[in-house]
Amino acid sequence: MASTAFPSRDDFAALLNDSLGGEDGGFEGRVVKGTVTAIENDLAVIDVGLKSEGRVPLREFAAPGQKADLKVGDEVEVYVDRVENAYGEAMLSRDRARREAAWDKLEAEFTETARVEGVIFGRVKGGFTVDLDGAVAFLPGSQVDIRPVRDVTPLMDIPQPFQILKMDRRRGNIVVSRRAILEETRAEQRSGLIQTLAEGQIIEGVVKNITDYGAFVDLGGIDGLLHVTDLSYKRINHPNEMINIGDTVRVQIIRINRETQRISLGMKQLESDPWEGATAKYPVGAKLSGRVTNITEYGAFVELEPGIEGLVHVSEMSWTKKNVHPGKIVSTSQEVDVIVLEVDADKRRISLGLKQAQSNPWESFAERHPIGSTVEGEVKNATEFGLFIGLDGDVDGMVHMSDIAWGISGEDALALHRKGETVQAVVLDIDVEKERISLGMKQLERGGPAAGGTTAAAAGLNKNAVVTVTVLEVRDGGLEVQAGEDGATGFIKRSDLGRDRDEQRPERFQLGQKFDAMVTGFDRAKKPTFSVKAMQIAEEKQAVAQYGSSDSGASLGDILGEALKAKNEG
């Protein structure tokens, strides 16, 4: 009875536990409301209606970087970790209460893809920590801003919006992005700003970034690309030659793509076009000075004035250096003289010649060494058809195998000379346009044409004259013969050895054999050419004219017989 009339301390505890739903299960793990009963140093004493009060650090009631605004009598929400610890005190947490409340709110906002407000308050590996009103989220470094940010200090400890990318309450993970908010805001700004811009408009902007191919210019919330080719009319290898990050530049809007929101900008469009009137300024044939700006495999670019460049094709670089890389003829920044070869102002192209600004070595050689003169040079190369001789002015002349020596075959003549040997030759022909010089070596030998014309023996020969010749050499293609006892030598081709096919056999002749032949002309070396066939045809025509035509009843054989008889009797 006494126990019922006077309940003990344990009875009160039991009644309290019952009212809370159990021994401790009603409070532990829950967020409850309590009252601040005292503030002791940096702790707040809070009564939540348990056996004893709990103590919570004041910092848990303050926002990052701020002081707690808390006083006795304030009602606050706290999380009950334990109803009673070893000291008989309740284990309370304001951070945990805020975190639980924040998670509930964040889950709802994440579902609605709404923005959340938070504060960047710390650094961790790969990013930063963000306080989302009690819940701690991870902000990756790549999600801080649209472009990399070197110093995040100005962004810390200030409330700002974030977008939740991912969250897992069970693991306590939240990933947020500040960049997504900026991109969304920027897209809204771009859409509004781009409507106010027009192609051809001149506007000022700030250089935000520079790459190898150009620069990005902020036009006040929207970026435009200033391509390196639109920086200046003159050649620019890299944009930083003209502009730097942070520079305020005046540009013209070249193109606007409203669907992709891309804007192309130009600076050179604000300058006068140097190509205007280029045809009049650079007439074909004009000699100009310029600076080599770039060298490629196919030629070199020469700047005639800022913004005007012409191409010297590799074929127009040197008279004598063929198949040589342009870099071995000119160097970058070298000042050179050039000749204008062609101008196409519409395509902004000028063809230049470097070799044309120098004297043509082939013309110079022709002036110094006329046909028939004797020259000296080194054997540069031997081919299957002749020898190449290095001559004055860095030009080459060729001695055909048939003009190397008398009396032997061309193959044997080639074997007489070696590379590097110094030889003499006669200039036979010069073709300046085709850049060819024909030389002869055997013409310096006895019986060949001398410098300045034919030999004395050859000078007495007339075209269509019949002379007695002596066989000097029998070849497959014909006979090498000499006119008279000590006259000029010449050649009779196989087909000129007679009218009949049986007569056109060189092997039927012997060295030293003499016979008559007609002089049919002289080759480029003033050497006579002979023909037995031409002589026979001429004799036949003469006989027909003298003894009548074949229509008189006499046969051609009778006419020729009479002609030969008359000749023998005479």
- pLDDT attached to residue 24: 46
| Three-state secondary structure call for residue 243 | coil
pLDDT at 211 > cutoff 70: yes
% the chain with pLDDT above 90: 26
Give the mean model confidence (pLDDT) for residues 260-288: 87
Kindly report, residue by residue over 318-327, the tens digit of the pLDDT: 888 878 899 9
pLDDT at 444 > cutoff 90: no
| Three-state secondary structure call for residue 130 | strand
Query: If we measure between CA atoms, which residue out of 556, 549, 513 comes closest to residue 532?
Result: 513
pLDDT at 547 > cutoff 70: no
Residue 500 is classified by DSSP as S
Q: What is the pLDDT confidence band of residue 456, given thresholds at 50, 70 and 90?
A: very low
Give the mean model confidence (pLDDT) for residues 504-522: 89
Own/partner contacts of 54-61, CB < 8 Å, gap of 24 or more, are: 54/78, 54/89, 54/90, 54/91, 54/92, 55/89, 55/92, 56/92, 56/93, 56/94, 60/93, 60/94, 60/95, 60/98, 61/94
Pairing state between β 395-400 and 466-474: unpaired
Kindly report, residue by residue over 363-405, the tens digit of the pLDDT: 888 888 888 899 999 999 888 888 999 998 889 999 998 888 8
Domains of the chain, start order: 2-98 (2.40.50.140), 115-183 (2.40.50.140), 197-270 (2.40.50.140), 278-357 (2.40.50.140), 361-444 (2.40.50.140), 456-545 (2.40.50.140)
Q: How many C-beta neighbours within 10 Å does residue 203 have?
A: 18
- pLDDT attached to residue 521: 83
Residue 265 is classified by DSSP as E
Q: Which two tokens stand for residue 424?
A: 């003499």
- Yes or no: say if 373 and 426 are a contact pair by the CB < 8 Å rule: yes
Kindly report, residue by residue over 129-160, the tens digit of the pLDDT: 998 877 889 999 999 998 888 888 889 989 99
* Average pLDDT across the chain, whole number: 81
Least confident of 119-133, 247-261, 356-370, 396-410: 396-410
% the chain with pLDDT above 70: 84
- pLDDT attached to residue 2: 44
- Yes or no: say if 557 and 522 are a contact pair by the CB < 8 Å rule: no
Q: Which two tokens stand for residue 243?
A: 């502009």
Distances from the Cα of 52 to the Cα of 44, 67, 175, 181, angstroms: 14, 27, 39, 47
